[in-house]
Structures are given as C-alpha cells and as structure tokens.
Structure 1
C-alpha cells in the first residue's frame, strides 16, 4: 500500500463548544417551545413565520412552480424508491408457531412505528431527493404519521419549492418550515405546534447531527451522519475520466467531503489525479469541490485486489464503487463487508443511487458502516417478540426459572414462577 495522494487531517471540531451550544438550544426549546423555535428560525435562517406547518395552499403553489418534466422526474424517482422499499419490506416477515418445548408458542410481530420525523437539509443546495429517500420508505413501512421538516431559503419564510413538492409527492403527512437544532428538538420533545415523533431520520450539518445524538433516547434516530464520502476500487481497466467525475461528484457536497480511490494501477491513479484537475476547470461548483479534493481526497496504490478490499473494509465508506474487470467483480464483491451502499461495475455510478436507482442514499458515514446499513423500510419497523404457554409448558419451565432466579438473588422473580406451580 502506498499513498499517491495523501489527505490532510480533518480539523478537530470545537466539540465542547458545539455540544454546549446544542444542549442550550434543546433546553431552551424544551422550556419555551414555539417561542424558542421561532427565535432560532429567525436567528439562523431569517425565517420569521409564525405558523411552522406548511399549508396545502403553499404546497400547491410550490408544485405550480415546477415544470411538468420536473414533476414527472420526481414521480419517477419516487416510484423506483417505493418499489425497492416494498421489495425490502417483503423480506421482513412475522414469525409464529415456534415451539421450543411442548405447549409453548413463540414468535414475533413486525410493527411500524407510529410516527417519524424526516429532516431534509437545505444549506448550500436544495436536496429535494432526500425528501423522497426518507418519506417514501417510511410510508411504505406503514408509518401513520410522517412529519417532514426543512429549513427555509435563507432570509425567507418558505422551504425551497422543489423540496416542498418532493415532500408532498413522497407522501409526507405534515410539513414544517423549521431547520437546524430547533427542528430536531421540536420533533423530539414536541411544542404546541409540533407534536413529538417516535424516531428522527435524515442527514444534516454537524449541529443537526449533534442534536440527534443528544436527543437519542428521548426519540429514536437512524444514525449520526457526518460529511459525505465515496471510495472507488479500480484496476487498470477503469476509465480515469469517469473515476475523476465520481470523485468530484462527492467532493462538491461540502468542503469536508471525501473522495477516495484505491487502485491496483499506479498509472491509473496518476491519470485520475490529472483528470480531476482538468475537470475542475469546467465545474461550476469547483470552489467547494477543489477544496474538498485537495485537502481530503485520497489516492492509494494497492498491490492486489485483496489488499484493496482490506483497505476499503478498514475505511468502511458510505458509498463504495467497484470498477474492475468483469471476471473479477463477483469474487471482489464477496470479499467486501463494510459499506453503506455498493455500486458494482463502472456503469453503476454512485450518482444513480443518489437519485433514481431505488436504493436509499441516506447512508452511514465516518466508519459507521462497520455496524449499520442505511435507511430502508426496516428503519421504520419494530420486530417485537411474543410468547404463549399452556399449563404443560409452564410446568416444564417454572422449576428452571425458579432455580435461576434464586441463583441471581431475585426472590420475587422466584416467587412469580413458584406461585404458578401451586
């Protein structure tokens, strides 16, 4: 393994200050409710609206601004996401009739959560695709109340019209023009205008991520997301121009985003680096993409595909592309275990997953793919066990329970078993 391009060390955030700032906002909203939400909306977004919930008239006005083609594009993307979510849901089945001893019946039920909040970022870009990725699988899973939130366009009282239309097309039951920490706190603890939810999903900036972390327990979350990242494993057969384009597609997200190339060809690595510089000259988002690539982009030369896979699994990227010879694809894919979403073959660009392939683009970052996958229909489900004993089964296990409870010193537990045998 050798670095052809080594990244700078990402700056340590002012963690203590951030944690304290977020905690103060959450505490203020818990105490002062809508008044505090309104104050932070005004302070951070210039959003002075009194009623946070977006009306049907506002939604219709947003849809009216869309061209027919834009509406059709959103509906086509939503359809693909919906169909894949339905297929995923079909894999999660109730279980019944398991009998480990005569007279016992065990199983589990698959139960949708009652409500969820979907955080759709605003910031530098109107990420309307994220509205589809969060709301659609929640509705497919059977969540009765899906509340979508998003910051308003800076200095206005309105969510970007494309994001608002996407939320509506996706099937959101309620939409609120609230962003940032105040949106997470309102969804977690509730205010007069915003009823609390059971789970919050969706990406955001470092303050939104910290707010989700602090509210976890009061409310469920998907995961704590950080800056976006892509890793591509490539051999000499890959196209350097395509790989460069994929590195920049990730880099333009923000200045802390990360594009990583792991290649078995030193020549390809050098060609990709040269192609990135050429493509930057024609890129309208070059200011952000260049900062991200120059500071945090990585190009790593690996001696073999096996070593490339080991490097990738250690990094555990959010998005993982495999751009190698067709004959090697299947064995390499089998070696890979740590990734948020996998893109197999050069034709399968990561950007397709961002929008229309049907898989979800709300994915784990910062090595979290070691222990979790991304948002899917199952994110919004609870798998809850049940058991039923007849007297024969009860009499068979009660003595065992009694002895184990006694061994732990829990005498009321022992009594609860013993009393049933009398």
Structure 2
C-alpha cells in the first residue's frame, strides 16, 4: 500500500475556542431566553425581524419559487418519503408469549417534537430541509420545527417551499447556535424539541453536542467526507469529477481515492486540478483537495476494503467490477453508492436515501438519519398471576445474588401471594433447586 497523494493538514483538531463560545452562548440563552436570542441574531446575522415565519410570508416566499424548481423539489420529496415510509414499515409493534402466561412486547412511538436545522450559509440547502423534516413526518412525529438562517430579508424561498412541502409545523427564520437553542428550549411559542437533527457549521454541531442529554440528537457531525473505491475499469474523469463534487462542500471537506490501479491514481491526481479550474466552485474544492485529499494505492480488493472500513467515511462510492462483492464485504460507511451510474450527488439531492450521515469514523457504530432516530422503542410486559411464581423465584434468587434484598422481597411477596409458599418454603425450594 502506498500514498500517491497525502493530506497536508492532519485531521481537524478539537476547536476549544468554538467549544467555549458555544457554552457561553447557550448559558446566556438559557438565562435570557428570547431576549438573548434577539441580541445574538442582531449581532451575528444583522437580523431584527420576526423569527416565526408567518403564514402570509410563507405563502409569499413559496410564490417566488419557479414551477420547475417546485417540480424538482416534489420529485425529491417523493423519493425521500417513499424510502422513509419503507423504513418505518420495517419496524412494528409486537407481542410474544415467552412462557405460558408471560407476555412481552414492544411499541414504536415517535417523539412528540423534532427540531430540524437547515443550513443557509454558502449554499441554499433545499435537500436538507426534505431529508430532516420529511423523515420526521414519515416516522409519525406530530410537531416539527424547522429553522434556517435568513438570507437578506428572509430565508431562501426554495428552502421555505421544501420545509412546507415536507410538513414543517413551524418555521423559524434563524440560524446558528441561537436557532438550535431556541428549538431545544421551546422559545418563541414553540414546544421544546425532543430531538435535534440536521447538518450545520462547527458552532451548530458543537451546540448539539453540548445540549445532548437534555435533548436527543441525530449524530455527531463534522465536515463532509467522501471516498471512491476504484479499480482499473474505472473512468479517471468520472472519479475526478466525483471527488471534486464533494470537495466543494467546504475547504475542510476531505475526499479520498482508494484504488488497486497505479495508472488510475496517477491520472486522477494529474487531471483533477485541471477539472477544478473550469468550475465556479473549483477554488473551494481545490483547497480541500490540497489540504485533506488522499490517494492510496492498495495491493488488492481486500486491502482496499480494509482501508475503507478503517476510514469509515460518510459517503462511499464503488466504481469496480463485481459490485455485489463490495456491497456484501464493506461494513463501515454512512451511505454506499454502487457503480458508475450512482454518484453521491444523487443521494445528496433526490434519490431517496438520507444525506444526513455520520462523519469522523462514526460510521463504525451508527448509520445516518432515518425514521428510527425519531422513534422510541418502548417495551412492556404482562405476567399472569399463575405464571408469576416461577418468575418470582428466579427474580428473588438473582436479586439476592446481587445483594439487592429489596428487589428480592418484591418477588417474595408475589411468590407467597400467588403460590401460597412462605418465605421458609421458598428458601427450601431455593436450596433444592441449586442442589
């Protein structure tokens, strides 16, 4: 294994300054509530208007969206909703009788309120509005708050339409830490969110981390990552374009190429800057490629798979022979894109799988945003009185084995009440059973 191109900058270091600023802001908003949010919005965003989008303004923004854009947003919404609905259908309530008279079960219950953050900095993140709000609604969340920073005198009209189409109950024209805090604390007449989801900058991500525990979050997110696995059959131009398309997310968005072909590696490394020079966002992509891009040449497919699983990247494309082998072999990624016909841009925008995905190797232990994130799997049990004695005997013994006498006595009481055994009788039967 060898590096054709190595990163110039190491993995993003923990930004203690960001952590401190976010902690200070959250403390101030927790104390000052709406007044503190207004101060931050004016100071940071130059915004002093209303925060809750009125129905009249919402209608006016939607009216600005061209019809073709609306049809495209509607197409993406159908794809995302269909996939999320299929995810929801894969989960079900059930009950099972594990022993005669012992019924156990589960219920899949959505949270009461979800807060969905939609970024609005360099780009208008229309698809992110669909990914978060539509998925929450498909899970059955009854109340969804969506927040996005204003661009000028309002949030982006297309983002507003996507939020509306997806079913947002309240839209906040607000961004940054103050938006995340407002949804978490239930400010401006909204109810407190039970879970916060959606991508954002370093301050938004840090706010979600610091609020976690008092509120749920989707995942710990960092800058966008993307990798391509390619063999000698891959088209170098396709690989270069796919790498650059993801590097345009930001100047700290790493992209990686894992390949068994030295020729492919050298060609991609040579043509990639030439391709970027023709793109309006090529300057951003090239900074990311320069500082974080990597090309690793591996000995065989198995080594490529091992490297890929170690990196556990957010988006993973496979442009090789035998796609089925890769689908079955790979284990650590946020979302997988198989074959030259599948690009990350499809998943980012409209194909239906969610684009809010784990970064920084979190794919080792979690997948991306899905309906399950909005659901609580609640368990229940009902033990009939004639089935209780055996359960109480075992429960009592295990409780005493752990030194928890109070737990044991709760079982002892039921044992005596439902079977007529005395505490002495139970001690004898207990000794007999272990003998």
- TM-score bracket for the superposition, by shorter chain length: over 0.9
Aligned to 1:151: 149
**Alignment of 1:351 onto 2:345:** yes
TM-score for the superposition, normalised by structure 2: 0.93
Q: Distance in 2 between matches of 1:285 and 1:197?
A: 36
Deviations along 1:59-99, one digit per CA (max 9) or x if unpaired, are: 11111111110111100110111111111111111111x22
**SS of residue matched to 1:260:** strand
RMSD, matched Cα: 1.2
Aligned to 1:342: 336
Query: Alpha carbons of 1:300 and 1:12: their partners in 2 closer, same or farther (altered >3 Å)?
Result: closer
Aligned to 1:182: 178
Deviations along 1:121-162, one digit per CA (max 9) or x if unpaired, are: 111111111000111111111100010011111xx3411111
Indicate if the aligned counterparts of 2:107 and 2:378 stay in contact, CA closer than 8 A.
yes
Indicate if the aligned counterparts of 1:10 and 1:256 stay in contact, CA closer than 8 A.
no
**SS of residue matched to 1:387:** strand
**SS of residue matched to 2:310:** helix
Indicate if the aligned counterparts of 1:318 and 1:339 stay in contact, CA closer than 8 A.
yes
**Alignment of 1:227 onto 2:227:** no
1:153-232 to 2 correspondences below 5 Å? 153=151, 156-232=152-228
CA-CA distance at 1:407 after TM superposition: 2.4
**Alignment of 1:112 onto 2:117:** no
Indicate if the aligned counterparts of 1:306 and 1:332 stay in contact, CA closer than 8 A.
no
**SS of residue matched to 2:4:** strand
Q: Distance in 1 between matches of 2:107 and 2:386?
A: 24
Aligned to 1:22: 22
CA-CA distance at 1:12 after TM superposition: 4.9
CA-CA distance at 1:390 after TM superposition: 0.3
Deviations along 1:254-286, one digit per CA (max 9) or x if unpaired, are: 000011100110100111112211111110012
Q: Distance in 2 between matches of 1:404 and 1:333?
A: 44
**Alignment of 1:34 onto 2:34:** yes
Indicate if the aligned counterparts of 2:34 and 2:188 stay in contact, CA closer than 8 A.
yes
Runs of 5+ consecutive residues of structure 1 not aligned to the other structure: none
State which of 244, 251, 256 in structure 2 corresponds to 1:248: 244
**SS of residue matched to 2:386:** helix
Larger of the two Rg values belongs to structure: 2
1:7-406 to 2 correspondences below 5 Å? 7-10=7-10, 12-13=12-13, 15-49=15-49, 51-96=50-95, 98-153=96-151, 156-325=152-321, 328-406=322-400
Indicate if the aligned counterparts of 2:116 and 2:197 stay in contact, CA closer than 8 A.
yes
Indicate if the aligned counterparts of 2:182 and 2:188 stay in contact, CA closer than 8 A.
no
Q: Distance in 2 between matches of 1:285 and 1:10?
A: 23
Q: Distance in 2 between matches of 1:11 and 1:264?
A: 24
Q: Distance in 1 between matches of 2:90 and 2:274?
A: 45
Q: Distance in 2 between matches of 1:208 and 1:244?
A: 31
Q: Distance in 2 between matches of 1:257 and 1:208?
A: 17
CA-CA distance at 1:410 after TM superposition: 2.1
Runs of 5+ consecutive residues of structure 2 not aligned to the other structure: 418-435
**SS of residue matched to 1:99:** strand
**SS of residue matched to 2:98:** coil
Deviations along 1:349-377, one digit per CA (max 9) or x if unpaired, are: 11111111111111111101000000112
Deviations along 1:2-53, one digit per CA (max 9) or x if unpaired, are: 000001234654632222211111111111100111111112211112x311
Q: Distance in 2 between matches of 1:192 and 1:419?
A: 51
Indicate if the aligned counterparts of 1:259 and 1:297 stay in contact, CA closer than 8 A.
yes
Indicate if the aligned counterparts of 1:152 and 1:179 stay in contact, CA closer than 8 A.
yes
Q: Distance in 2 between matches of 1:176 and 1:106?
A: 42
Deviations along 1:225-258, one digit per CA (max 9) or x if unpaired, are: 1000111100011111111111111110000001
Query: Alpha carbons of 1:314 and 1:43: their partners in 2 closer, same or farther (altered >3 Å)?
Result: same
Q: Distance in 2 between matches of 1:12 and 1:272?
A: 25
**SS of residue matched to 1:261:** strand
Query: Alpha carbons of 1:42 and 1:138: their partners in 2 closer, same or farther (altered >3 Å)?
Result: same
**SS of residue matched to 1:116:** strand
Q: Distance in 2 between matches of 1:165 and 1:191?
A: 23
TM-score for the superposition, normalised by structure 1: 0.96
Indicate if the aligned counterparts of 1:108 and 1:384 stay in contact, CA closer than 8 A.
yes
